[in-house]
Amino acid sequence: MADAAAALPADPAVALKRAQQGKSYWQRVWERLRDDKVTLAVIGVLVVLLAMVVFAPWFTVHDPYTGSALRRLKPIGTPGHWLGTDEVGRDLWSRMVYGGRLSLLAGVVPVFLALLIGGFLGVLAGFTGGLVNSAIMRLTDVLYAFPSILLAIAITGILGAGLQNTILALTISFIPPVIRISESVTTQVRHLDFVEAARASGARPLTIMRYHILNNVLGPILVYATSLISICIILAAGLSFLGLGVTPPSAEWGLMLNNLRQALWVSPFVAALPGVMIFITSMCFNLMSDGLRQAMDVRL
């Protein structure tokens, strides 16, 4: 008994370190994430929201594009229209659910495309260095000189309104920051000992990038990309609010906010609902990004 007690570590940190030995990085990330109740809660909210917008016909009764002048601006709690109606008598609950499709599409797709393009260019610049790094980063600096919203407004102003042009404009706006983050973390990793050992063993550059660089830089890049989704949703809604994004009569939260702003004094709660959905969705993505950052921080 005495020998067994002596074999146990007195320091809890040492015991925790021994318990974590043999577990992969992603297993430890999942354990940290599982203990974060706030992150799990917001992920649950986003899953419910995604299910509602994907299976919108199952969650709605009324046609989101059919209105009636007799039902204009009905208040919240109206029988048959529990979130009221908009300025032309369309059911606001149906409009909110269907509007989430375009709002989430315009918020997630540009970040995903920017992650693919910017992540590849950033990793390439950070790993290669030299002239390739200078060319990519100087072009990035040119685009980075313009604020994201101004660059998106300029691009949509040239190309015209529409969902495709909005996605293109936001993708171009978010590529520069993703390149910078990817290049920064790749530059830090490429000088580590295990990368130098892979070079000394004769591994090809593509093999080193795939198996040694990408596995160690993917986490920070993904965390940063998730933080951009909330910004992208707000920017997409702002473009639609200005008339440069989704065009009527499509249901989209920013466009709905623009249409209902004239009814702010008549039915303020109904007019504020699209803005509330934009706030809740962007806040959930922000909290999820913070939770992922803490879970993927190997120093914790």
The mean predicted confidence, pLDDT, of the chain is 86
pLDDT score for 177: 93
- pTM for the model: 0.85
User: What is the average pLDDT across 74-98?
Assistant: 89
The least confident of 104-108, 124-128, 197-201, 217-221 is 197-201
Cis peptide before 75 (omega within 30 of 0): no
pLDDT, tens digit, 9 for 90 and up, residues 44-54: 999 999 999 99
pLDDT score for 20: 52
Contact 267, 84 (CB under 8 A): yes
User: What is the average pLDDT across 167-196?
Assistant: 90
Amino acid at 263: A
pLDDT score for 4: 46
Contacts of range 294-299, beta carbons closer than 8 Å, 24 or more positions apart: 294/32, 294/36, 295/29, 295/30, 295/32, 295/33, 295/36, 295/39, 296/29, 296/219, 296/220, 296/223, 298/25
pLDDT score for 5: 47
Q: Which domains, ranges and CATH numbers included, belong to the chain?
A: 26-53+91-295 (1.10.3720.10)
Contact 54, 69 (CB under 8 A): no
pLDDT score for 276: 93
- Residue 244, pLDDT > 80, answer yes
For the chain, give the percent of residues with pLDDT over 70: 91
pLDDT score for 11: 52
Paired tokens of 289: 């990004």
- Residue 77, pLDDT > 90, answer no
- Residue 10, pLDDT > 90, answer no
Q: Report the alpha-carbon distance of residue 122 to residue 195 in Å, rounded.
A: 17
pLDDT score for 201: 83
The least confident of 28-32, 131-135, 150-154 is 28-32
- Residue 106, pLDDT > 60, answer yes
- Residue 13, pLDDT > 70, answer no
The least confident of 115-124, 126-135, 291-300 is 291-300
Paired tokens of 71: 């039902």
- Residue 282, pLDDT > 60, answer yes
User: What is the average pLDDT across 12-30?
Assistant: 61
* Secondary structure of residue 298 in the 3-state scheme: coil
- Residue 17, pLDDT > 70, answer no
- Residue 299, pLDDT > 90, answer no
- Residue 207, pLDDT > 70, answer yes
More confident residue, 212 or 17: 212
